[in-house]
Amino acid sequence: MTFLVYVAVSIGIGLVCRPIMRSKGRSAGTGFWLGFFLGVVGLVVAVLLRPTREFEAVKLRKRRATMGDVPSHAAVSERERAATPSEIPDAAAGPALSFSNVSMVFPDGTHALRETTFSVSPGEFVTVVGPSGCGKSTLLRIASGLNPATGGSVSVDRSSLGYVFQDATLLPWRSVLRNVEMMAELEGVPRDERLERTLDAIDLVGLNGAEFKYPKQLSGGMKMRASLARSLVLNPKVFLFDEPFGAVDEITRERLNDEVIKLFQLEGFAGLFITHSISEAVFLSTRVLVMSARPGHIVADFPIPFPYPRDPELRFDPEFAELCGQISHELRGVHA
């Protein structure tokens, strides 16, 4: 839109120049084009001299620092929520995401899902494990509306949906700051509020200090953090994770798992997480669903009893190992 405004302004300047040039004895056409050209050059210069988003961010950071610790609205609400971590928002309002008898057949005849029924309530973190190619990712694509299901019904509030893809899918021409900002930008959040929320999200995922870097300068783990932050800016009620940490190393993955748990406690979203790692599934979730091979459907539902916040040492708890064993057993049954 702004682009069209620029063109309109240039044409305007051109029109103004017409009578001026004519009064100096030159042709009106020359005057118009001269004015148009001047207008375009002027606007290009103005666009180039406009303060960058990065500059605005630095200014905001400074202002926040000098105002003492006066937190923004988002930070206040986060702090309130952090004070009562076990609060489950509006459980009575029904599930945030529910699938009933959803099936999916792709146009090429691949039968990806069959009669899948489950639901995720606010404050629940549900993880789906299953053999590779069983339609786990399809589940998320249906939930988000990227692909419509061919049968059954899905109910979910898509107005503030978080979605983390397998790859970070950052836009390489944008700095971390502008990447994190992007979802809110597409959603039409006003500029100033967007910047506040963006900085909050960046702080939350621990990318403070890397805001101005470009994706090519980031490690795999940092890219995933930026990708997480990008969805967080929307304050999502439903958060979908599509095997987000499959490509990062074990140590980074464990640290990112801790981050996800922290975010889950702070934000209280309904989480739906896809993974092929059983221990990751048990560590993160309140429930683990096991899917069968294609055409996939839910074959088992394990509630995970451990309280939050979860300690990394939990992974070496005998009870934890026992649960992992049961899920693994179930998965082997599926393969057979």
Partner 1 sequence: MIYSPLSVTPPEVAIELVGPTPKRKSGKLELSRFIGPPIVFIIFIGVWQYMHEHGMRALFDKPGFLLPSPVTVFNECFVDGFTRSKLLNGVKWTAVVALLGLAITIVIGMLLAVVMAQARWAERSFYPYLVALQAIPILSIVPLISSVFGGGFQPRLFVCVMIAFFPIVTNTLFGLQSADAGQHDLFTLRGASAWTRLWKLQVPAALPAVFTGFRISAGLSVIGAVVGEQFFRKGNKPGIGIVMESYRQKNNYPQVYGGLFLAAGLGIVFFLVFGWLSRRVVGHWYEASGKPA
Contact positions toward partner 1, by CB under 8 A? 1, 3, 144-146, 161, 163, 165-167, 169, 171-174, 182-183, 185-187, 214-216
Distance CA 238, CA 177 (A): 23
For residue 333, the minimal CB distance to partner 1 (Å) is 33
For residue 309, the minimal CB distance to partner 1 (Å) is 30
For partner 1, the closer CB: 198 or 292: 198
Helix axes 2-23, 28-49, angle to 10 degrees: 140
Report CA-CA distances (Å) from 59 to 56, 64, 108, 198, 224: 5, 9, 53, 14, 26
For residue 85, the minimal CB distance to partner 1 (Å) is 29
For residue 166, the minimal CB distance to partner 1 (Å) is 8
For residue 224, the minimal CB distance to partner 1 (Å) is 13
Rg (CA), the chain: 25
Identify whether the C-beta of residue 232 lies closer than 8 Å to the C-beta of residue 268.
no
For partner 1, the closer CB: 1 or 49: 1
For partner 1, the closer CB: 173 or 316: 173
User: What tokens does 123 get?
Assistant: 């404050």
For partner 1, the closer CB: 185 or 254: 185
| C-beta contacts of 49-54 below 8 A and 24+ residues apart | 53/175, 53/177, 53/178, 53/181, 53/195, 54/175, 54/177, 54/211, 54/212
Residues 6 or more apart in contact with residue 175 via CB below 8 angstroms: 53, 54, 211, 212, 213, 214
Q: Is 315 helix (H, G, I), strand (E, B) or coil?
A: helix
For partner 1, the closer CB: 148 or 303: 148
For residue 210, the minimal CB distance to partner 1 (Å) is 15
Q: Give 32-101 as a 3 state SS string.
A: HHHHHHHHHHHHHHHHHHCCCHHHHHHHHHHHHHHCCCCCCHHHHHHHHHHHCCCCCCCHHHCCCEEEEE
For residue 183, the minimal CB distance to partner 1 (Å) is 6
For partner 1, the closer CB: 154 or 331: 154
For partner 1, the closer CB: 153 or 217: 217
For partner 1, the closer CB: 235 or 328: 235
State which amino acid sits at residue 208.
N
